[in-house]
Structure 1
Amino acid sequence: MPTRRAVTGRSREPRARFAEELRSLRTRRGESLRQLGERLGWDWSLFGKMENGETLGGPEVVEALDQYYGTPGLLLALWELAINDQTQFRERYRRYMALEATATSLWHFAVSVLPGLLQTPAYAREVLAAGSLKGPELEQQVQARMGRRTLLDGDDAPPFRTILSEAVLRTPLRDAAAWREQLEYLGEMADRGNVTLQVLPLSAGMHGLVGTDMWFLRLPDGRTVAYSESTYRGDLIEENASVERLQRAYDAMRDLTLSPVESRKFALCTLEELPCRPST
C-alpha cells in the first residue's frame, strides 16, 4: 500500500496538492493515463485534466481512484479541500481580472449565460442573484460588472470575439422588457468594429467545450492564458500545453458556428419572438 501523506496546514494550495497526488500515485505505478482509463472504465482524458488541475472530477471517480490506489479516504479528503477552497478561487479570479485589463485581444465561449462584458445591469443582477448574492453585495457586484464593460470602449479597445451557444439566447430573463433590452444591447455591441459575435446552434451537437464557459486572453508579451468559468468558481490556466489543447477545441467548435452576419440575424429573430411592448 502506498505511504499515506498527511494533510496538514503546510500542504500546498489544495487544488495543486490534489493534482500532484494524482500524478504521483499513477507514475509510481508506471501507468499511462490511457492505461488508467482502461482499468477504471473512465475516459483517460478526464484523468489528464484532473492531473493538470483543469478539473477536479466528481466524488464517484475520486472514490474509485482511492479504492484503486489503496489510499482509502486520502484522495476524497484532498478533493473536498480543493472543491471548497474559495479563497484560492478569489485569488485566481483577481489575477484573471488583472490580466483581462491588459489583454491585447480576447475570445470567449458561453454555454448558457452572456459574458459579463455584454451584460445589461438587469441581466447581471438576475444572474448574480441566481448565484445567491443579495442586498448591498449584489448591487456592488452589479456595479463592478458594469465597470468591466468599459474595456470594450474607446479607439484602443481590444478585439473581442464571443461564441454564444444557442441556449444563451433561449434562456430569457423573467422580465420580458429587461430581456428585450438585453438583446437590443447585444445587437448594438455586435455592430462595433472590435466585437465579433457568433452563435453555435444546438444542431451542431457535441463539441470539446460542451460543459464550460471559456475565456482566452492574448497578453502584451505574446502569451495566451485561458480561464474556465462556472457559476460558483473559475480556473486560470497558464500552462502552455493545456492552453493550446483548449484553443484547438475552441477552433474546432468555431468551425460549427454561424457566420457573424448569420449570427446577428439569429439574434434579431430571437428579439422578434418577444412580445411587443405594451402601447402607452
Structure 2
Amino acid sequence: MASPRRRAAASPALAAFGRQFRRYRERAGLSQTRVAQRTGKTASFVSQIESGKKRCRREFVEIMDPELRAGGVLLGLYDDLNGDGQMGFPTWFDWPEIEIEADLLVTWQHTVVPGLLQIDGYARTFLSTDEAVLARLARQEILNRDVPAPTSLIALLSEHVLHHFVGSQKIMREQLEHVLAMSEVPHVTVQVVVNEDGMPAGNGGSFVLASMKDRSEVAYLETAVRGLTTDDPQDLAEIAHTLDKLRRNALPVGMSRSLIRKVMEEKWT
C-alpha cells in the first residue's frame, strides 16, 4: 500500500469559507488592505483567510459581515463551520471547485458511468433540465483544458456499470464508445473492477477522492440522500483501504478496454 500523503496546513473547508468571503469582499468593492484596516489586521492575514490558510475569529466576521453587506450570510457560514468545534463541510460547500483545483481525481462507481465521463444522452437520463445537463458536461472541461494542466482521472468502474441499461441501446453504445476514447487520453485511466473471488469490494457506495496540488486530500461520498464532502483523516483512511481492495480486483488497462469493447459489441449493438 502506498505511504500516506502528507496533510497540508490549509483546510479545504477553511478555503471554502475564504472563497465565500472573497466573493462578498470583491462584490463590495473593498480591497484586502481596506479589510485589514477595518479589522486591525494585516493584508497578509486577510489573504490567508481567503486562501484557507488561517482561521479567523468570529469577531472578525462580525465586523466585516455588515461592511460587505452580506446580510448575516458570512456569520451563518462561519457558525456552520465552527458550531461543533470541528471544521466540517456544510451544505453550501461547492465540490466542483475542488474538482477544478484538484491535481488527481480517483473515482469508484458501482452503478453508473462517472459524471466526468458521461455523454449528453446518458447524463440527460438522470437530470431533469437542460441547465443541469450543461452544468455536468461543463465540469468535464478540467480533463480537456490546456491552462492550467488538465486534471488526471483514475476511474474504477464495476463490471455492472457496463451492463446497466441507461436511456437506450444507442445511448449505451455511444457512452461506452466515449469511455473507450477517453481511456486513450494520457491523463485518464479507466479500469474495470471484477468480482472473481466472491468478495465484492466497494459496497459502501460510490466516491471520488481528490488529491490537491498541496498534497492534501478531500473525498466526496455519494449517499441515497445527498453527497457528503469530507477531509476527516479517519474517513480518508477508510477510503484508502477500500481503494486498495478495489485495485486488487481491477483489470489492467488493456484488459479493461477489451472487456468494455466486448460488452459494447455484444450487448449494446
> Counterpart in 1 of 2:239?
246
> Counterpart in 1 of 2:44?
none
Mark the runs of 5 or more structure 1 residues left unpaired by the alignment: 1-11, 21-52, 54-86, 129-133
Q: CA deviation at 1:203?
A: 3.0
| CA distance in structure 2 between the partners assigned to 1:204 and 1:148 by the alignment | 36
Deviations, residues 189-241 of structure 1 (Å, cap 9, x unaligned):
01110000011113344355213111011112210111111354111111123
> What amino acid is aligned across from residue 203 of structure 1 in structure 2?
E
TM-score normalised by length of structure 2: 0.64
**CA distance 1:100–1:246, change in 2 (3 Å):** same
| CA distance in structure 2 between the partners assigned to 1:159 and 1:275 by the alignment | 29
> Counterpart in 2 of 1:146?
137
**Alignment pair present for 1:162 and 2:161:** no
* Cα contact 1:207–1:249 (8 A) shared by 2: no
**Alignment pair present for 1:98 and 2:97:** yes
| CA distance in structure 2 between the partners assigned to 1:268 and 1:157 by the alignment | 26
| CA distance in structure 2 between the partners assigned to 1:231 and 1:148 by the alignment | 22
| CA distance in structure 1 between the partners assigned to 2:268 and 2:98 by the alignment | 41
Deviations, residues 8-46 of structure 1 (Å, cap 9, x unaligned):
xxxx86xx97xx9xxxxxxxxxxxxxxxxxxxxxxxxxx
Match for 1:179 among 163, 172, 176?
172
| CA distance in structure 2 between the partners assigned to 1:204 and 1:160 by the alignment | 27
**Alignment pair present for 1:201 and 2:194:** yes
> What amino acid is aligned across from residue 252 of structure 1 in structure 2?
K
> Counterpart in 1 of 2:266?
273
Helix, strand or coil: the match of 1:146? helix
> Counterpart in 2 of 1:45?
none
* Cα contact 1:111–1:211 (8 A) shared by 2: no
| CA distance in structure 2 between the partners assigned to 1:110 and 1:230 by the alignment | 12
> Counterpart in 2 of 1:230?
223
For these two proteins, the number of residue pairs brought into alignment is 189
**CA distance 1:104–1:244, change in 2 (3 Å):** same
Q: Percent identity?
A: 28
> Counterpart in 1 of 2:256?
263
Helix, strand or coil: the match of 2:234? helix
Within a 5 Å distance, the mapping from 1:63-74 to structure 2 comes to none
| CA distance in structure 1 between the partners assigned to 2:201 and 2:160 by the alignment | 16
**CA distance 1:215–1:221, change in 2 (3 Å):** same
CA RMSD of aligned residues (A): 2.7
Deviations, residues 45-71 of structure 1 (Å, cap 9, x unaligned):
xxxxxxxx9xxxxxxxxxxxxxxxxxx
| CA distance in structure 2 between the partners assigned to 1:248 and 1:211 by the alignment | 12
Runs of 4+ in 1 over 6 A off after TM superposition: none
